[in-house]
A and B are shown apart, each in its own frame.
Chain A
């Protein structure tokens, strides 16, 4: 069982990741020489404003994207395509609307031509309180339930790394708190290595061992914060002076970065 102190072995390494997108209006510099390590069993949050390239970074780590230069490693493997040890949890749950919950969860097994591990799936469904909803379609479930189903879908194939791309961004604040508690518990129970992209400072501090702050245009790492708040963390800690001080600290560093950033656009 993992606890708050993450191992210091690097699990994933990003080295000088640079990415340009070719668009109709010219090339967009999405990532500029981003280097970072995700340690074994660490909960790492990547925090930044919209358009700072954090999703691009995560997609590259998932092997869904090429980099223009730089490379990404998982252990000894260089990531050039999706890796079986890595699972991605997407924005908006991303369930397939034409499949019921159970069929959605079976999708990764189908794609890998394996028999679904029903015992594990059952256990996970029970863990996230989705027992009895197996035959519902996504549209019949609330946003929180959909995202819990997508977490089950990713955990069912037992990856060692979870890449989460603003998974709770579309949820209301209460559901979001619930989901944050749930994902913290799951992380503590399973010891997965998690990289979690978010634009909420509070969410990042609440969840992370380390917060990596990115700035936009081009996307680069502007600061790294260690979060040594003991676990398990309850929702209430978000109102403590220490927690708020941490938020303000990160916020002021982001604001400073914005003033300095050249070519700032009013969007």
Chain B
């Protein structure tokens, strides 16, 4: 919506005021995911394959998850940092404006510095895409794009759940990190390496596998099931429970104040 773009332009203008700090943070972000990459690099050079996935295949998986996460963090920062918004009364200000609250929270922040991670992921893609031996036909490209988009949706959904939980308590939300940061860290490798149980959990409960694993199998030719290519779309359905929890949270806030 046009209003969202106006918000974005204010954020960009704001952050560009602090050019030096911005670039330093971008570099910092880049190096953070670089050490994650180093982890993969050293492990894969020592072991060659894990669960029969090669180094470049793992990199494809890593890069896709990283792009999805960095985009989700960049645009969804309002939810990610929501506990602060409740604490300092900013959410009250949002409630006093005649617009949808969720929209306002989404528009309230734009964390451009996450581009650092994005750049890292693109560089990794630049290496992995040719090296992986995948024949990049139209359907494979579509699969990859769907993987990333669905990843953004699922991570954003997790941020929304975190924010919604902030309405009920600001303590004890650390465990959400398992799914957000954990999803990013452990999602470096195809989720099957963690075993059946974990894979099932991330398929049916928190649909990380729906964008990181099944379509990935299709992508690298491990599976011919075209259904796998479309599974990322189910990630969109994940937003429904996220939205529901958010609504419940707002209702709770309205009856208990802060």
Do A and B belong to a common assembly?
Answer: no
